[in-house]
Structure 1
Amino acid sequence: MNRKQIVKVRGILESDGKILLCEHTKGLFYFLPGGTLEIGENLHQCLVREFFEETGLIVVVADFLGCLECHWEDDLTSYQELNMIFNVVTKDLSKLINKE
């Protein structure tokens, strides 16, 4: 069986007691904004890039909150996904758009 490790960076943006979530394109579930770390990026660069791509917001990465580890398999591959979770802040929520 093949093995694949994935590193993702996710951000929690809280405003007025609400947390921003992205809806999956097929509407099956919601997730924290963020995405897969690319070669040559650090965690903060990845989160700023992914947050902008998904929401149109420019964020500043704040506190590291922890790591969520997920495991699953399909017929051919065993996956390990590490989700690095950070608090993020932004100056202007009015720039929030539905990009993806």
Structure 2
Amino acid sequence: MTHTRFHYVARAVIIDQEHVLLVRDQLTPYAYLPGGHIEIGESAVAALVREIVEELGLDCTVGPYLGAVEHGWSADRVDHVEMNHLFQVTLEGLPPLTAPVSKEPHLTFYWAPVGSLEHHRLQPTPLANLIKNRYSIHGAWWGSTLG
């Protein structure tokens, strides 16, 4: 029997000198944008601020809403569907292109050049092109890995 799990997520697009901050979980071969699950009764912005503090111990400024990317995958007989809400974010108190130290031992944060995101196995996959082409996108971003 296959189960289904829905993930409601807020993600930070943090860009510095044409590099974007990525996070890699030691349990997977993929990279992600910083952020995490939005709890019931919590706004996406509040969730993002909370996740940045929990993961990095840093304050941040959440800027404009950029758009959304839906994503689906299967693992361990569970079908997952994720809705990612994307925000422009600025970290406070971090020198340029300094890799922040994770407060969670299973996470590693690093800066990746915007032009090479496809080589970092960034998930969801539409994010690489959305970030790379961000100046030519008018209106909200939209991407999907669903059929």
Task: Report if TM-score (shorter chain) is over 0.5.
Answer: yes
Q: Give the secondary structure class of the aligned counterpart of 1:20.
A: strand
Aligned residues: 100
Distance 1:2 1:60, change over 3 A: same
> How far apart in 2 are the matches of 1:27 and 1:2?
21
Write the letter of the residue equivalent to 2:78: T
Q: Report the structure, 1 or 2, having the larger helix content.
A: 2
- Runs of 4+ with deviation above 6 angstroms: none
> How far apart in 2 are the matches of 1:93 and 1:75?
38
Q: Report the structure, 1 or 2, having the larger strand content.
A: 1
Identity of aligned residues (%): 32
> How far apart in 1 are the matches of 2:22 and 2:13?
8
2:21 aligns with 20
Write the letter of the residue equivalent to 2:67: G
2:49 aligns with 48
Q: What's the C-alpha RMSD, in Å, of the aligned pairs? A: 2.1
Write the letter of the residue equivalent to 1:80: V
Structure 2 unmatched ranges of 5 or more: 105-147
2:37 aligns with 36
Distance 1:85 1:98, change over 3 A: same
